[in-house]
């Protein structure tokens, strides 16, 4: 079916139901959108519509997020290694070959685990506040890194509150009135379903496994020199803007655009980002 309408689908991957949004002609170049915390594919709702006339756009939800299954910790290993494994199987189940990756927040460590293993899947990378450099570790990440034990668990649970999720969406926004309340209210709803807090705690506790992989991911960039477009909310307190500029250390031709926005910069600038993606991909 060739359509620019967004289709809402579910596919079973290794006994887990993965919800995803799909739009555009399957014959068009594919863009895979990997979301971050505490969001879901919903964060890409506007960008999907912006791009679907020229591209085949797919945005899945990870297990434990959005519309996907929430298997209990007793049957599913909530680690970044395993999320990457499921997303790789999702890619193969849909028969995707070589495509553009859009990575945001958690999408960085999930995506780069797959990309470094299977570089043949990469046509280009679009990076939005997805950090792979120590330069980009902002004050929020550093604060969480300084906590241990009960204090860390309490901080993780606090990040699931509506106040915290709303703050992550609005902090650094140039025009907060352009940030849809639906974005943080829906994220809060998803994060506060039964069993999800335990999922998010497990993933936060596993997050430290990403830092030792930074050199490996940087080596991939240096060796493979994939086309890279960086679009970054420069006021992000989670992943600071030096992490955006750092991509040019390993890929000198990377195009870096710092936008006057937050960690969720698409809330304000989805049209601008879509235009940058179109111009970027047109040159490949």
Is residue 263 part of the annotated active site? The answer reads yes
Alpha carbon distance 150, 42 (integer Å): 32
Pair 6, 54: CB distance under 8 Å:
no
- Assigned token pair, 280: 């970027």
Instruction: Pinpoint the alpha helices (H) of the chain.
Output: 45-51, 80-93, 107-117, 139-145, 149-158, 162-170, 181-191, 196-206, 214-224, 242-245, 247-250, 266-282
Alpha carbon distance 66, 191 (integer Å): 8
Annotated catalytic residue within 42, 56, 169, 263: 263
Per this entry, what is the length of the chain? 284
Alpha carbon distance 231, 242 (integer Å): 12
- Catalytic residue numbers read 263
């Amino acid at each position: 079916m060739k359509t620019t309408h967004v289709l809402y689908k579910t596919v079973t991957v290794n006994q887990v139901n993965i919800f995803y949004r799909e739009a555009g002609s399957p014959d068009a170049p594919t863009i895979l959108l990997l979301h971050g915390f505490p969001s879901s594919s919903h964060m890409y709702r506007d960008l999907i519509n912006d791009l679907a006339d020229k591209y085949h756009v797919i945005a899945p939800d990870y297990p434990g997020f959005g519309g996907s299954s929430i298997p209990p910790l007793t049957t599913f290993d909530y680690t970044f290694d395993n999320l990457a494994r499921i997303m790789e199987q999702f890619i193969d189940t849909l028969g995707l070959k070589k495509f553009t990756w859009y990575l945001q927040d958690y999408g960085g460590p999930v995506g780069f685990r797959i990309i470094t293993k299977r570089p043949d899947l990469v046509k280009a990378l679009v990076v939005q506040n997805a950090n792979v450099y120590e330069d980009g570790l902002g004050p929020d990440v550093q604060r969480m890194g300084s906590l241990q034990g009960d204090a860390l668990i309490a901080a993780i649970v606090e990040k699931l509150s509506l106040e915290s999720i709303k703050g992550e969406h609005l902090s650094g926004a140039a025009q907060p009135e352009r940030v849809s309340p639906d974005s943080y209210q829906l994220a809060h709803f998803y994060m506060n379903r039964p069993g999800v807090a335990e999922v998010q705690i497990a993933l936060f506790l596993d997050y430290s496994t990403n830092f030792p992989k930074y050199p490996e991911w940087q080596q991939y960039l240096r060796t493979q020199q994939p086309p890279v477009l960086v679009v970054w909310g420069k006021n992000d307190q989670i992943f600071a803007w030096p992490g955006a500029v750092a991509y040019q250390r390993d890929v000198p031709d990377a195009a870096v655009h710092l936008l006057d926005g937050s960690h969720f910069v698409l809330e304000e600038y989805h049209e601008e980002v879509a235009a940058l993606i179109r111009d970027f991909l047109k040159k490949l």
